[in-house]
Chain A
Amino acid sequence: MSLQIGDPAPGFSLPGTDGAEHGPDGVTVVVFTCNHCPYALAWHERLTQVARDYDVTFLSVNPNDAERYPRDSFEAMRERVEADGGWPHPYLRDESQEVARGYGAQTTPDVFVLDRDGTLRYRGAPDADHRDEGQRAAWLREALDAVLAGRQPGRPETEPVGCSVKWR
């Protein structure tokens, strides 16, 4: 069962490719994503730019079953970040898939925005079209602007679009 807008989001602490543990802290964006999905890859740069542009906690979480999808292994995640010259935000491994299940993640990507109290304020796609870089993750930015101003996002929920999470 997915979290509903207004629900308290589960806290967590997951290992990152940087060797540290990370979890939600203040206003937080949690993006379930992965290495092998074309939708996640198409949206990646836009999401990374949001991480650079906003002073919030930004966490990318890979929950996919790496046995069936070796490109999503922790080692492959580390290699990807290294090949990119580092990311501006942590890339976390959800090996047990408990965090993804707790949030009700469906796809990669699937975006969640939590306010400073850890309440879910936005869930869905980064923007309206993975093919259009000019969209700049507009739905996520709208939600963050609202949450940082202490308002409810005007568009709290959109349909997540991407590859299904690869459950064990």
Chain B
Amino acid sequence: MRVELLWWEGCPSYPDALEELKRTLAAAGIDTPVDLVEVETDEQARAERFPGSPTIRIDGEDIVAPEGAEPFSLTCRVYRLRDGRVSPTPDPEDLREAIRRAR
């Protein structure tokens, strides 16, 4: 399993997302390192098809399908929690589900 976390320094949510990701992987008994990919320019954002920070991919697949048709750019990503609230990080249950799918 390949796990990537793409992040941009202009958005402060990446440490929370990384912590949650590591905790969830450990809880699932998966000893896989997280590849951290810093996205630093709009050009890189387009090349990586980066919808915003943080973005978590497992085996190349985004754990949550990106919303809308915003251009790929250096931005903070908007997630929806399962109770409908807006959040800068994914719902932990979405993360757990994505890990289960990838096993």
Contact = CB atoms under 8 A, between A and B. Distances in A.
B50 to A, nearest CB: 14
Contact of B86 (A41, A162, A164): A41
Contact of B10 (A38, A133, A164): A164
A36 B88 contact: no
Interface stretch (A15-23, A67-75, A97-105, A145-153): A67-75
Contact of B87 (A38, A161, A164): A38
Contacts, number: 43
**B interface bracket (residues with beta carbon within 8 Å of A):** 10 to 19
A38 B77 contact: yes
A163 B12 CA distance: 7
Interface in A20-46: 36-39, 41-42
Contacts of A71: 70
A69 B70 CA distance: 8
14 contacts: A36-B75, A37-B76, A38-B79, A38-B87, A39-B13, A39-B76, A39-B88, A41-B78, A42-B86, A42-B87, A70-B71, A163-B10, A163-B75, A164-B10
Interface of B: 10-13, 42, 70-71, 73, 75-79, 85-88
